C-alpha cells in the first residue's frame, strides 16, 4: 500500500472519529441567543431563495404536482420539508439525535428518480462525499442556519472526475432514498447522482 493511501486512510479514520465525538446536541438544543441567530439566518436565507425556488404547482386537491424538465420531475426543497423531527437521546453517543418522521409527500417520492437543484458543499473531497444544500454554506445545516431536511447526500455511481467548489449552484439527478435510523448518514440520499441540466 502506498504511503499516501495509508496517510489518507488514517486521516479519514481520525476525521470520522472526530465528527462522531462532536457535541451535536448544541445544534439540537441551542440557547435562546443561538436560536434567535438561527431564526434570523433562516429568514434571510429564505428571502434570498424566494426567486430561486420554483413555486409548487398544486392540483385541485391541494397536492403538489412535480415540475417537469424533459422527462424528469424536479424534487423540490418544499417536498423535502414534509418531515417532523423528534429529539431522541442516543446513549451510545451521549447526545441527542433528530429522529425524522417523514410525511406523505416525502414517502411518496422515495425510490423515484428526480433532479434537484441546490448549493454544493464538499464534506470530504478525497472520498467524494458531497452534500447538496438548499442554502449556501453560510446559511446551511452544518452552520446551524437550517434543519436536516435542507441537505441531501449525493452518492455518485463512480469516482467523480472534477472537484466541486463550495456554493456551486448545480442540479443532479438520481433516486431518492430515505434514512431514518442511521445517525451517521443524512436523512435524504440521492443514489446514482449525476449532474443534470434542466
Asked if the structure places residue 25 within a domain, the reply is no
What pLDDT score does 70 carry?
55
Note the pLDDT tens digit of each residue in 122-136. 988 888 899 999 999
Confidence of residue 37 (pLDDT cuts 50, 70, 90): low
From residue 28, how far is each of 19, 34, 37, 137, 164 by CA, in Å?
Answer: 16, 11, 14, 19, 29
Asked if the structure places residue 45 within a domain, the reply is yes
Range of the domain at 112: 31-83+103-195
Asked if the structure places residue 22 within a domain, the reply is no
What pLDDT score does 166 carry?
92
Straight-line distance from the first to the last Cα atom of the chain, in angstroms, rounded to the nearest whole number: 42
Res. 12: pLDDT tops 70: no
Query: Highest mean pLDDT: which of 56-70, 83-97, 160-174?
Result: 160-174
Asked if the structure places residue 154 within a domain, the reply is yes
Res. 28: pLDDT tops 70: no
**Residue corresponding to grid cell 391541494:** 62
Asked if the structure places residue 4 within a domain, the reply is no
CATH, residue 45: 2.40.50
Asked if the structure places residue 43 within a domain, the reply is yes
Note the pLDDT tens digit of each residue in 133-150. 999 987 777 666 678 899
- Is this prediction's pTM over 0.85? no
Note the pLDDT tens digit of each residue in 50-82. 444 444 444 444 444 444 445 789 999 999 999
Distance between CA 131 and CA 123 in Å, rounded? 7
| Top-confidence residue, 16 or 31 | 31
| Top-confidence residue, 158 or 35 | 158
Asked if the structure places residue 143 within a domain, the reply is yes
Q: How many domains does the chain divide into?
A: 1
What pLDDT score does 182 carry?
86
| Top-confidence residue, 49 or 117 | 117
- Section 154-172 average pLDDT: 91
Asked if the structure places residue 91 within a domain, the reply is no
The DSSP bridge pattern shows strands 151-155 and 72-74 to be unpaired
Amino acid at each position: 500500500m502506498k504511503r499516501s493511501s495509508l496517510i489518507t486512510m488514517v486521516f479519514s479514520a481520525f476525521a470520522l472519529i472526530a465528527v462522531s465525538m462532536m457535541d451535536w446536541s448544541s445544534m439540537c438544543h441551542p440557547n435562546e441567543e443561538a436560536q434567535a441567530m438561527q431564526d434570523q439566518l433562516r429568514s434571510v436565507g429564505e428571502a434570498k431563495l424566494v426567486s430561486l425556488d420554483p413555486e409548487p404547482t398544486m392540483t385541485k386537491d391541494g397536492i403538489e404536482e412535480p415540475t417537469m424538465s424533459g422527462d424528469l420531475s424536479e424534487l423540490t426543497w418544499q417536498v423535502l420539508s414534509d418531515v417532523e423531527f423528534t429529539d431522541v437521546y442516543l446513549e451510545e453517543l451521549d447526545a441527542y439525535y433528530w429522529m425524522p418522521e417523514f410525511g406523505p409527500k416525502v414517502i411518496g417520492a422515495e425510490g423515484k428518480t428526480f433532479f434537484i437543484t441546490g448549493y454544493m458543499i464538499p464534506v470530504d473531497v478525497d472520498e467524494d462525499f458531497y452534500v447538496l444544500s438548499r442554502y449556501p454554506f453560510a446559511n446551511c445545516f452544518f452552520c446551524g442556519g437550517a434543519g436536516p431536511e435542507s441537505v441531501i447526500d449525493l452518492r455518485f455511481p463512480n469516482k467523480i472526475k472534477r472537484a466541486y467548489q463550495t456554493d456551486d449552484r448545480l442540479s443532479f439527478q438520481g433516486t431518492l432514498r430515505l434514512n431514518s435510523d442511521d445517525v451517521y448518514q443524512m436523512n435524504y440520499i440521492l443514489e446514482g447522482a449525476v449532474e443534470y441540466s434542466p
